């Protein structure tokens, strides 16, 4: 049966599930409390009679608590009869207490008014989310449980972190803020390619998997990013097509309801000129129609000659509050890039790593640049079905077009000469994705149920034309890497023929089409026992997918993946957890060296951890241990030519390790991010024809990673608002791409990078200056390619400076 013929069956299953869940929610509203127990419900308003959202409500001396919704309403059920104190708290304001008597079989209805205006409340919410620590995941992760109580390691890189560290793109040092996350192999600032727990993380944006080729997606500019969520381990319970090693979810900026703006100019070493504008406000007097607009323009040079990366982005968002229960949000983002050939980041030599100057490049001046247009559209509808049930539906469309080339060697010789080659690299990507899910909360007896159920659908196509190539140099006219003063090609420049057919036709003819579609339905129940001290998560997902690549017929597969997790609260600030989860994702990484079809990747994760909030929630620590098994994983064949790569199947890979994360405000003015990870990834079962043996390292990790970022701001006196930051990144025992346990080859040395800076923050102006690579070390990542007997590496920038001035209005 064809793929499209099976989709209606899954749709029927989902809509039947949706009806059952909705009916269950309606039934639960009638059953207010269990026999003999009581409850509390009410509405919280501001001093100007607007609904007060995100206010914490707690029944003192019990574990009963909740947070008010966007409409200001809250409800707490199944409370033993008696006299209690209710606490209503908001960061930065005095806690309000209210006495109440709970009567059996009755729900008390109360009204609470805060002595704070709606504008002040919004400022508090924004301020609360502007530190290094946050307590809840975004709605795009679909769950409503706090991070502390989720049975999984989730780390959030906040907007303040991005600003303090002057990060400008997803590939620009974001990984220092998360344990075990590294960039060991990359295409400069084109793609992020982040690895963790021994594999490349899946890239998500606003809850959608936006990976559509082995290389992508285009790294997001930070101008339109609110924060980034790193989910360790499989996340099938939250997001579809998640790798067993984890994912990162880029959450974009949305309207806040406040009328405000921010403009920033950044200047930096190597001709970095950058400007951003962030406008946030109302389009209607009643505040129902809101907007957010982020603009960015950038010219960026390099410490290597003739290398540049110029960009601009436009990101408007409009939201409309249809009524008290329904909200619609429309978002569009354009990223445009014009950059030098990405192959210029790679340096080759048969003599070993870093044997050429740090600013060496094989890029010939005058080579045509690569241009990219990346469009994305999101449409999100949220509807509050009742006090306890919420429906979310969203769709996304991505369109990516790249016209350019890839510089790579045809030959690397022992005498330091090489023949450079330029291959066409035109690419086109189309992704259409849709999601619908419901969140609800019901009680059966003393057991609280948080229900999540939904459907995911995706249709992705990627065309790439690398079928035309041209040797820049000739035999006898090779490029001399030891005397690179003349980088002009002896054969002249390529002139690729793009007129004889369309990009799609060219890509299809050479096998450069990748086609992936999937549909999945899922349901999860988080059961809370003993006043929510013990939480048991049970979930399952059924996925049907079809995938085709490299001109082969489509593969169809279906799979059920279960999930079980348990989280126990030792006290209000401490939880321990255990997790078992499975994964099932398509693979389109490449053609197999020995032929055959690329099967979907399956795997499972076993994880245990402990989380704790310290100093009344100001800072947090997480310790996690894990073991991941992955079957049928495809990796690049180290003996294949990178200009025409083939792949091998590992068989089974086992990744295991320990992770530690700390983040938050240690004392007034002093904030810290610190993390460490021990990672090990090896072959546990060998494939019949994979070429790797049991015990071999599977590349894609550093055994030891450690990071810190310490930020101190003076709290009073003449220097109030001034401060300093300092942080380091350390990587040891690196196993990068195609490094397959051949002791005869050189290993990458340990990596240590020190960064720091100064800043001053006033009421409306912030000035920041950071120095990166303070010690001016020759830093690089790289690998060894056995196809040519050559080492390659990608050098990082020498000591460099960024200076920013931001004005808030």
Q: Is the pLDDT of residue 502 over 90?
A: no
Same fold, 34-116 and 139-252: no
CA–CA distance, 293 with 283 (Å, rounded to integer)? 12
Q: Is the pLDDT of residue 390 over 60?
A: yes
SS3 14: helix
Mean pLDDT calculated for residue range 271-280: 98
Lowest mean pLDDT among 40-54, 476-490, 752-766: 40-54
- Kindly indicate the confidence band of residue 259, based on its pLDDT and cuts at 50, 70 and 90: very high
* Spans of all domains in the chain: 34-116, 139-252, 260-460+469-808
Q: Is the pLDDT of residue 555 over 80?
A: no
CA count, 13 A, side-chain hemisphere, 657:
26
Q: How many residues does the chain have?
A: 809
Give residue 128's pLDDT. 53
pLDDT in tens, 294-325: 999 999 999 999 999 999 999 999 999 999 89
Q: Is the pLDDT of residue 567 over 90?
A: yes
pTM for this model (two decimals): 0.88
* CA angle at 580 for the pair 574 and 581, rounded to the nearest 5°: 120
pLDDT in tens, 601-620: 788 889 999 999 999 889 99
Lowest mean pLDDT among 325-339, 410-424, 684-698, 702-716: 684-698
Mean pLDDT calculated for residue range 52-76: 82
Percent of the chain predicted with pLDDT > 70: 88
Mean pLDDT calculated for residue range 178-191: 86
Give residue 23's pLDDT. 44
Give which of 583, 582, 576 is closest to 624, Cα–Cα. 576
Q: Are 723 and 770 in contact (CB under 8 A)?
A: no
Cβ-based neighbours of 415, under 8 Å, separated by 6 or more? none
Mean pLDDT calculated for residue range 651-677: 95
pLDDT in tens, 100-156: 999 988 888 999 988 887 767 766 665 555 589 988 899 889 988 999 999 999 999
Percent of the chain predicted with pLDDT > 90: 57
Pairing verdict, β 202-205 and 246-252? parallel
Q: Which superfamily does CATH assign the domain made up of 260-460+469-808 to?
A: TonB-dependent receptor, beta-barrel domain (2.40.170.20)
Overall fold of domain 34-116? Immunoglobulin-like (2.60.40)
Overall fold of domain 139-252? Ferric Hydroxamate Uptake Protein; Chain A, domain 1 (2.170.130)
Cα radius of gyration (the chain): 27
CA–CA distance, 220 with 248 (Å, rounded to integer)? 12
């Amino acid at each position: 049966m064809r793929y499209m013929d099976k989709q209606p069956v899954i749709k029927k299953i989902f809509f039947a599930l949706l009806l059952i869940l909705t009916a269950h929610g309606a039934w639960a509203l009638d059953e207010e409390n269990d026999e003999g127990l009581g409850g509390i419900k009410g509405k919280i308003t501001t001093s100007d009679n607007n609904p007060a959202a995100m206010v914490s409500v707690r029944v003192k001396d019990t574990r009963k608590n909740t947070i008010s919704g966007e409409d200001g309403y809250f409800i707490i059920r199944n409370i033993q009869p008696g006299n209690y104190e209710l606490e209503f708290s908001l960061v930065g304001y005095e806690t309000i207490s209210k006495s109440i008597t709970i009567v059996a079989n009755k729900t008390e209805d109360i009204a609470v008014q805060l002595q704070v205006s709606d504008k002040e409340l919004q400022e508090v919410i924004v301020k609360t989310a502007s530190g290094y620590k946050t307590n809840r995941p975004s709605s795009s992760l679909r769950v409503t449980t706090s991070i502390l109580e989720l049975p999984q390691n989730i780390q959030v890189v906040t907007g303040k972190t991005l600003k303090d560290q002057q990060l400008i793109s997803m590939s620009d040092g974001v990984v220092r803020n998360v344990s075990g996350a590294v960039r060991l192999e990359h295409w400069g600032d084109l793609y992020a390619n982040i690895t963790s727990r021994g594999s490349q993380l899946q890239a998500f944006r606003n809850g959608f998997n936006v990976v559509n080729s082995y290389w992508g997606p285009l790294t997001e500019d930070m101008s339109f990013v609110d924060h980034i969520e790193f989910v360790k381990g499989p996340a099938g319970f939250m997001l579809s097509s998640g790798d067993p090693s984890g994912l990162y979810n880029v959450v974009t900026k949305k309207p806040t309801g406040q009328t405000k703006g921010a403009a920033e100019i950044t200047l930096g070493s190597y001709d970095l000129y950058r400007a951003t504008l962030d406008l946030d406000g109302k389009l209607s007097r009643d505040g129902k129609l809101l907007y957010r607009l982020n603009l960015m323009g950038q010219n960026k040079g390099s410490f290597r000659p003739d290398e540049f990366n110029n960009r601009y982005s436009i990101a408007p968002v409009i939201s409309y509050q249809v009524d008290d229960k329904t909200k619609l949000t429309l978002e569009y983002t354009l990223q445009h890039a014009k950059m030098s050939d990405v192959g210029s980041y790679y340096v080759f030599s048969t003599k070993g790593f870093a044997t050429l100057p740090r600013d060496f490049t094989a890029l010939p001046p005058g080579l045509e640049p690569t241009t990219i247009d990346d469009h994305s559209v999101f449409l999100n509808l949220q509807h509050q079905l009742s006090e306890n049930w919420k429906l979310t539906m969203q769709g996304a469309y991505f369109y990516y077009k790249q016209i350019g080339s890839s510089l790579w060697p045809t030959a690397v010789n022992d005498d330091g000469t090489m023949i450079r080659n330029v291959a066409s690299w035109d690419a086109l990507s189309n992704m259409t994705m849709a999601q619908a899910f419901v969140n609800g909360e019901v009680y059966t007896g003393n057991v609280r149920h948080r229900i999540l159920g939904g459907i995911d659908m995706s249709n992705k196509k990627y065309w790439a034309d690398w079928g035309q190539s041209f040797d820049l140099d000739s035999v006898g006219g090779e490029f001399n890497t030891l005397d690179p003063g003349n980088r002009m090609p002896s054969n002249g420049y390529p002139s690729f023929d793009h007129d004889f057919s369309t990009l799609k036709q060219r890509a299809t003819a050479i096998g450069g089409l990748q086609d992936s579609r999937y549909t999945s339905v899922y349901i999860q129940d988080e059961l809370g026992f003993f006043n929510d001290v013990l939480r048991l998560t049970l979930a399952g997902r059924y996925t049907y997918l079809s995938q085709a690549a490299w001109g082969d017929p489509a593969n169809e597969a279906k799979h059920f993946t279960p999930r079980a997790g348990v989280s126990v609260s030792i006290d209000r600030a401490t939880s321990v957890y255990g997790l078992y989860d499975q994964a099932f994702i398509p693979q389109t990484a490449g053609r197999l060296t020995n032929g055959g079809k690329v099967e979907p990747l399956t795997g499972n994760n076993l994880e245990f951890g402990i989380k704790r909030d310290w100093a009344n929630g100001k800072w947090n620590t997480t310790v996690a241990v894990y073991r991941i098994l992955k079957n049928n994983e495809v990796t690049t064949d180290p003996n294949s030519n990178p200009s025409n790569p083939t792949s091998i199947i590992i068989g089974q890979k086992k990744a295991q390790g320990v992770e530690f994360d700390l983040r938050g405000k240690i004392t007034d003015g002093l904030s810290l991010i610190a993390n460490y990870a021990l990672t090990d990834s090896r072959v546990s079962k060998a494939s019949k024809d994979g070429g790797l043996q049991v015990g071999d390292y599977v590349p894609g990790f550093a055994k030891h990673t450690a990071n810190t970022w310490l930020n101190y701001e003076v709290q009073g006196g003449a220097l109030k608002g001034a401060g300093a930051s300092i942080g380091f990144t350390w990587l040891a025992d690196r196993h990068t791409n195609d490094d397959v346990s051949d002791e005869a080859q050189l290993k990458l040395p340990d990596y240590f990078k020190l960064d720091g800076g100064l800043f001053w923050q006033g009421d409306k102006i912030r000035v920041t200056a950071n120095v990166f690579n303070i010690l001016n070390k020759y830093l690089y990542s790289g690998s060894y390619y056995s196809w040519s007997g050559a080492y390659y590496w990608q050098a990082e920038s020498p000591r460099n400076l960024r200076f920013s001035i931001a004005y808030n209005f």
